């Protein structure tokens, strides 16, 4: 998935097979496993409407896990510029990896 396709922070979604909505509070989090492996996700979110009520309330998930978008968060020119910069970095990284193989 392209970074530019990710929902804005503040979006409220319902995940597949879930009853509780999730408020997106961050993009592209990395989860560090006890094995030493790092796994990247598209989003980090918290229950809606409660919000962050402790570290255990935050969850990571990917865009394909979203069943419904209830509300799309705020987006402006500043966000669009950030997306352009991050997408260029992602594209350059993918190109570097492909050329190294």
Q: Which tens digits make up the pLDDT trace of 22-44?
A: 999 999 899 888 998 999 899 99
pLDDT band at residue 97 using 50, 70 and 90 as cut-offs = confident
Asked if the model's pLDDT at residue 3 lies above 80, the reply is no
Does the predicted TM-score (pTM) go above 0.95?
no
Return the top range by mean pLDDT from 34-38, 44-48, 51-55: 44-48
Q: Which H, E and C letters describe 34-84, residue by residue?
A: CCCCEEECCEEEEECCCCCCCHHHCEEECHHHEEEEEECCCCCHHHHHHHH
Residue 1 predicted with pLDDT over 70: no
């Amino acid at each position: 998935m392209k970074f530019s396709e990710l929902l804005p922070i503040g979006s409220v979604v319902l995940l597949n097979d879930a009853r509780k909505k999730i408020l997106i509070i961050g993009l592209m989090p990395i989860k560090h496993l006890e094995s030493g492996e790092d796994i990247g996700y598209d989003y980090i979110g918290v229950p809606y409407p409660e919000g962050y009520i402790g570290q255990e309330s935050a969850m990571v998930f990917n865009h394909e896990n979203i069943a419904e978008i209830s509300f799309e968060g705020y987006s402006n020119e500043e966000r669009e510029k950030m997306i352009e910069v991050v997408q260029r970095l992602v594209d350059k990284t993918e190109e570097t990896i492909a050329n190294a193989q």
